[in-house]
């Protein structure tokens, strides 16, 4: 007989109705089962807590992975693929994406941090609920597994998606990132506050927002860097694109042939002397002046001269004045991108550069502009730089006075100053001395001793550079 039946028997009275005895029996049965139900409830609650923690860890990891991928793609957003992807779907969503991608990337980063914290906290709590006495081996296994999961979520998967599916991903998930930037804006206020604090701490002035052209150039440079890093672009192609972008920041005066080095003809030159001069200078277009280079009359095209050489009768040949084509004058402050457009529009290849006082300061050709894009263009008549630079030892070199300082610094690893009012080694000497130096004079500058080997009353022709132990 069970304990319940015993209790019921003791409580029963001989003449008590049956229904009352049945009620007592049920009460005692329920009372005796309460401890067992409590144990079952606690186990059920424990299992539900474990399941909730597993779900929280999984959702946190998914949120972190999605947000990390969105942040990576939005920070390195591929402009042209996104535009092309939107164009194929006849949508203007690309304009909104490209205009607001920076704010959306910040919101995605906030969600990434939130998801990582939630996931790691839930995973740690779940592990603690499984084994209260954690051993060193189980802790090490948990740490290693967590590291792999975090790397996969925050690095491996975002990198792969950004490389392979950037445009489709950002196009189809944009509504999520738009919402993310709206709901996380309180968390992004700290970025502006901390940025302003460090700006003031560094003592830097407030900068205006860059214009669209600067943003576009920065974006192109980012694409170039990524292309060079991934091997999609060659270094030469990157330099050419960089040269095109810098055309607007470079003036004609920076690339022109200066007045002192211009090969020009005097208008009263005889036909025989003119032919001899053309053969000597090996130019295809030669400016012609009257008395002074400030009085340019026109430009002689050698191809116009060739038909006259074929005439046997000297009297039938045209004079120099008749062979001239009208000169084209341009200011020295004109940018190279505008200069290149005008070269292409006018189909001319040489222009006379003048200053604000209408004085001739040099000439510029289409080749000078193109060399800023593709690098030095050398033909069979150009002087080789190797012949101009003569190395006497590892720290002693001879070169011409018109050697450019930036090229010497790059080639020899020097740090000679390259200022706005001079860009050649001869110009440096004249600036330091305040006059044209004589042969044998020396100037020490930034660890380099420059000695004049040959000079005349107008220019420095040849110098010797000594640095390091030789100086």
Mean pLDDT of 346-375: 88
Residue 393, helix vs strand vs coil: strand
Which residue from 375, 366, 339, 370 is spatially nearest to 239, judged by alpha carbons? Answer: 375
Which residue from 423, 451, 426 is spatially nearest to 436, judged by alpha carbons? Answer: 426
Q: Is the pLDDT of residue 19 over 60?
A: no
Q: What is the pLDDT of residue 328?
A: 92
> DSSP string covering 74-136, please?
HHT--HHHHHHHHHHTT--HHHHHHHHHHHHHHHHHHHHHHHHHHHHHHHHHHHHHH-SS--H
Whether the Cβ atoms of residue 406 and residue 418 lie closer than 8 Å to each other: yes
Tokens at residue 429, please? 């000497």
Q: What is the pLDDT of residue 213?
A: 58
- Say which range, 32-41, 48-57, 198-207, has the weakest mean pLDDT: 32-41
Domains 250-374 and 385-470 share a fold: no
> DSSP string covering 332-355, please?
TT-BHHHHHHHHHHHT--EEEEE-
Question: Is CATH 3.30.465.10 the right assignment for the domain spanning 385-470?
Answer: yes
Structure confidence by residue, pLDDT tens digits, 383-432: 544 446 778 888 888 888 888 888 888 888 888 887 767 778 888 888 88
Alpha carbon 409 to chain centroid, angstroms: 24
- 10 pLDDT band, cuts 50/70/90, is very low
Query: In 273-407, which ranges are E strands?
Result: 285-290, 292-301, 324-325, 329-331, 350-354, 360-365, 390-393, 396-400
Q: What is the pLDDT of residue 63?
A: 92
Residue whose pair of structure tokens reads 């000594």 in the numeric block: 466
Whole-number Å distance between alpha carbons of 35 and 127:
28
The CATH number of domain 250-374, selected from 3.30.390.50, 1.10.3130.10, 3.10.580.10, 3.30.1280.10 = 3.10.580.10
Rg (CA), the chain: 41
Whole-number Å distance between alpha carbons of 303 and 308:
10
Tell me whether strands 448-455 and 390-393 are parallel, antiparallel or unpaired. Answer: unpaired
Q: What is the pLDDT of residue 364?
A: 93
Mean of all residue pLDDT scores within the chain: 80
Tokens at residue 222, please? 């980012």
Q: What is the pLDDT of residue 132?
A: 57
Instruction: Identify the H or E element spanning 3.
Output: helix 3-11
Q: What is the pLDDT of residue 434?
A: 84
pLDDT > 90: percent of the chain: 17
The 3-class secondary structure across 176-226, one letter per residue, is HHHHHHHHCHHHHHHHHHHHHHHHHHHCCCCCCCCCHHHHHHHHHHHHHHH
Which residue from 109, 121, 118, 116 is spatially nearest to 67, judged by alpha carbons? Answer: 109
Q: What is the pLDDT of residue 4?
A: 47
Domain-wise residue ranges, the chain:
50-190, 208-245, 250-374, 385-470
Instruction: Indicate the pTM of the whole model.
Output: 0.47
Tell me whether strands 265-266 and 285-290 are parallel, antiparallel or unpaired. Answer: parallel
Which residue from 332, 21, 281, 448 is spatially nearest to 464, judged by alpha carbons? Answer: 448
Whole-number Å distance between alpha carbons of 329 and 347:
15
Mean pLDDT of 46-51: 74
């Amino acid at each position: 007989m069970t304990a319940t039946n015993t209790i019921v028997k003791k409580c029963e009275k001989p003449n008590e109705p049956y229904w009352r005895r049945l009620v007592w029996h049920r009460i005692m049965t329920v009372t005796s089962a309460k401890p067992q139900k409590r144990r079952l409830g606690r186990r059920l609650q424990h299992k539900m807590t474990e399941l909730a923690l597993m779900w929280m860890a999984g959702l946190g990891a998914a949120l972190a992975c999605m947000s990390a991928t969105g942040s990576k793609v939005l920070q390195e957003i591929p402009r042209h693929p996104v535009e092309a992807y939107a164009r194929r779907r006849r949508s203007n969503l690309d304009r909104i994406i490209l205009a607001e991608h920076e704010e959306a990337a910040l919101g995605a980063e906030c969600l990434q941090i939130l998801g990582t914290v939630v996931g790691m906290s839930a995973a740690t709590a779940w592990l603690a609920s499984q084994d209260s006495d954690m051993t060193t081996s189980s802790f090490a296994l948990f740490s290693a597994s967590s590291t792999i999961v975090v790397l996969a979520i925050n690095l491996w998967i975002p990198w792969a998606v950004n490389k392979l599916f950037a445009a489709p991903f950002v196009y189809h998930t944009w509504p999520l990132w738009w919402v993310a930037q709206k709901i996380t804006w309180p968390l992004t206020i700290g970025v502006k506050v901390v940025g302003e604090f460090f700006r003031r701490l560094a003592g830097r002035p407030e900068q205006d927002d860059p214009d669209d052209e600067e943003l576009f150039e920065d974006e192109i440079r980012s694409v170039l860097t990524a292309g060079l890093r991934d091997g999609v672009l060659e270094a030469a192609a990157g330099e050419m694109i960089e040269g095109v972008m810098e055309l607007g920041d470079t003036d004609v005066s920076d690339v022109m042939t200066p007045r002192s080095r211009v090969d020009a003809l005097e208008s009263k030159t005889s036909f025989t002397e003119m032919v001899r001069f053309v053969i000597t200078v090996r130019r295809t277009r030669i400016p012609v002046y009257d008395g002074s280079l400030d009085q340019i009359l026109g430009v002689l095209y050698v191809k116009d001269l060739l038909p006259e050489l074929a005439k046997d009768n000297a009297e039938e040949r045209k004079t120099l004045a008749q062979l001239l084509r009208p000169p084209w004058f341009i200011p020295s402050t004109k940018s190279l991108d505008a200069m290149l457009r005008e070269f292409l529009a006018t189909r001319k290849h040489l222009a006379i550069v003048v200053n604000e006082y209408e004085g001739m300061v040099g000439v510029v050709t289409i080749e000078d502009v193109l060399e800023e894009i593709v690098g030095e263009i050398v033909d069979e008549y150009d002087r080789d730089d190797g012949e101009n630079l003569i190395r006497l030892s590892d720290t002693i070199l001879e070169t011409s006075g018109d050697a450019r300082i930036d090229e010497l610094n790059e080639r020899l690893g020097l740090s000679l100053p390259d200022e706005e009012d001079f860009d050649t080694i001869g110009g440096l000497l004249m600036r330091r001395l305040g006059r044209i130096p004589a042969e044998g004079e020396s100037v020490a500058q930034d660890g380099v001793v420059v000695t004049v080997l040959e000079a005349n009353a107008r220019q420095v022709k040849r110098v010797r550079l000594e640095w390091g132990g030789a100086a």
